[in-house]
Amino acid sequence: MSSMSSDAAARAATRTRRNRGRQIRRRRIVALVALALVVATVPAAYSYVTTMLQPSSLPLTIRTVEWVRDHHGAWLVNAAERYYYSWTAPKKGEPPLISLPAVGVTGSHASLPKDRLVYGPPPIRPVIVPALEREGVWRPAGVPVNGGSPVLVTVFRPEPDFPRILAYVAWIDTARTQLALYPGRYEPPSGSPRGPMAVPFGERSRLLATFNSAFKHKDGRGGFAVNGHVYEPLRNGMATLVGYRDGHVDIVAWRGGPTPRSTIVLARQNLPLIVNGGKPNPSLRNDSLWGYTLGNSTMVWRTGIGVDAKGNLIYLAAPDQTAQSLATALAHAGAVRAMELDINAEWPSFMTYRQPGARRAVKLVPNLNQPATRYLVPDDRDFFAVYERRPGQSFAVPFK
């Protein structure tokens, strides 16, 4: 018995040593994996923390999403956004609206141009009949110039199948205004001077409106030029909002090469034209051409800028839009050529100012992610400003 007990004890001891050896090896493997994970995540954590500590005009949540998108997580953000937008997409047959939000100036202070020589746009023809009160009717917005506001605003329902969707529209008289384009803190990504990254204090006495620009450069690959300085080379074939030294503006399919000629003050590009000849671009069916992140078929907040037959600007923003429906709405509002600007709920911004000096800022687009004072403080993204045009004023973009 003693011999058998000794053998059993020896085997038990051997098993114990083997188990201990396996546990030690397992612990070493776990430790090595944990160390590898720490080593792998430390740079990411360092990048995230240092990015969040940099100056920014955006809330932490939006900055976090942008950080994930910029650090190899675009696929994850895009998938989450596609799922969210498909889940929250409007349904056909929803009950229609019975009233519209009030936009623009009302009451005794509401004044359209009194000078018969000053052109004013016709009302936007209703898409859904009967029209609601004030639907498509232009109202002045902001400080008057020569007896009336050169910036007019309205809302209309652009889609019969979705009668609760509203398009927010602004019309800008380019004969009485000057357009300016400003770099933001991080967009465009290269080049200087970046300027104040906000509306310059010296120009706020004549500020009429501000509105969002287009895609980040890494998403849209569009060119960017101001006052003869090329921040990002212009690309042929891309939709381009152009401001000229004589004060007029246009939206064109660019054919001028990487550097604008001396007659051009500003140029901002984004994707191909979505409206040309007053009609949506037939190529909108090509999902790869509009929207690197979400394509052209996902229904999201979208913004666009167009030019009418007389050379005036039309800005439009609406929720639950595809590139096709945005183009259709812009053409319906009077645009003969148009381009898409930024998309997603975080970015649409169109502000007017009820008093000189950029006071009493008012949002046309009901964006809860951005304050009405956006662009009066340094902003991360580039943007446009609309100034009162004054005799003898230079049409170069003012930076002070």
Instruction: Give per-residue pLDDT as tens, 231-245.
Output: 999 999 999 999 999
In a domain, 259, yes or no: yes
The 224-226 sheet, strands edge to edge: 229-232, 224-226, 264-269, 239-244, 249-253
DSSP label at 73?
I
User: Is 184 in the same domain as 64?
Assistant: no
In a domain, 222, yes or no: yes
In a domain, 142, yes or no: yes
The residue among 36, 55, 87 that closes a domain is 87
Q: Are the beta carbons of 237 and 244 closer than 8 angstroms?
A: no
The residue among 52, 87, 122 that closes a domain is 87
What DSSP element (H or E) covers 25? Answer: helix 2-53
343: Cα within 13 Å, side-chain hemisphere? 26
The residue among 87, 119, 138 that closes a domain is 87
Looking at per-residue pLDDT, the higher value among 33 and 366 belongs to 366
pLDDT of residue 109: 43
* pLDDT tens per residue across span 22-56: 666 666 766 666 556 556 667 667 666 766 667 77
In a domain, 398, yes or no: no
The token pair that represents 102 in the structure block: 């009030």
Of the pLDDT bands very low, low, confident and very high (cuts 50, 70, 90), residue 393 is confident
The token pair that represents 71 in the structure block: 């650090």
In a domain, 93, yes or no: no
User: Is 111 in the same domain as 76?
Assistant: no
> In terms of residue numbers, what domain contains 7?
2-87
Query: What is the pLDDT averaged over residues 48-66?
Result: 70
Task: Indicate the number of domains in the chain.
Answer: 2
Beta bridge partners of 209: 352, 386
- Which of 329, 365, 369, 336 lies closest to 125 in space, CA to CA? 329
Beta bridge partners of 169: 154, 316
pLDDT of residue 119: 77
* pTM metric for this prediction: 0.85
User: Is 222 in the same domain as 194?
Assistant: yes
User: Is 218 in the same domain as 319?
Assistant: yes
User: Is 113 in the same domain as 77?
Assistant: no
In a domain, 393, yes or no: no
User: Is 177 in the same domain as 319?
Assistant: yes
